[in-house]
Amino acid sequence: MQKYLFAALLLAATAFSYSAYADGDAAAGKQVFTQCTLCHGTKKGENKIGPSLWDVYGRKSASVEGYSYSDAVKKLNVTWDEDTLMKWLDNPSAMAPGTKMVFRLPSEKQRKDVIAYLKTLH
């Protein structure tokens, strides 16, 4: 019995770790994202103060053609996924000191929602 309980707990812990960001609400994220639209476009090639976020999920950092990235972001060399986007949206300056992006989303819920929304942009 103890073996089955351990297996069930292990399975539950594994499922939780894989779904840690699955609870983001894309519709709520779209609303939160309105704060970002001054600097970021959502259509392919729509660069503003910041790069277009079209198809950002799964993309390498500093890879939007025609956008002039800061040296800090050029050196970042990450792929934008749940983990990297959570860190970036929480504190871009901590992740890439010298970045042009200073806007932060301190709310974990808002970051999850925005990430869910960004996943729809493709």
> Is there a domain that residue 80 lies in?
yes
**Does 1 map to a domain?**
no
For residue 6, give the 3-state DSSP assignment. helix
pTM to 2 decimal places = 0.81
Residue 53 lies in a domain: yes
Domain that holds residue 108: 24-118
Q: Are 55 and 44 spatial neighbours (Cβ–Cβ below 8 Å)? A: yes
6 domain-assigned: no
Does residue 47 form part of some domain?
yes
Residue 17 tokens, joined: 């770790």
Helix, strand, coil percent content, the chain, rounded in steps of 5: 50, 5, 50
Q: Residue 96 belongs to a domain with what CATH number?
A: 1.10.760.10
**pLDDT tens across 67-122, in order?**
999 999 999 999 999 999 999 999 999 999 999 999 999 999 999 999 999 999 99
Q: How many domains does the chain have?
A: 1
Asked if residue 10 belongs to a domain, the reply is no
> Phi and psi of 83, rounded to 5°?
-65, -50
Residue 100 within any structural domain of the chain: yes
Q: Which two tokens stand for residue 28?
A: 């709520």
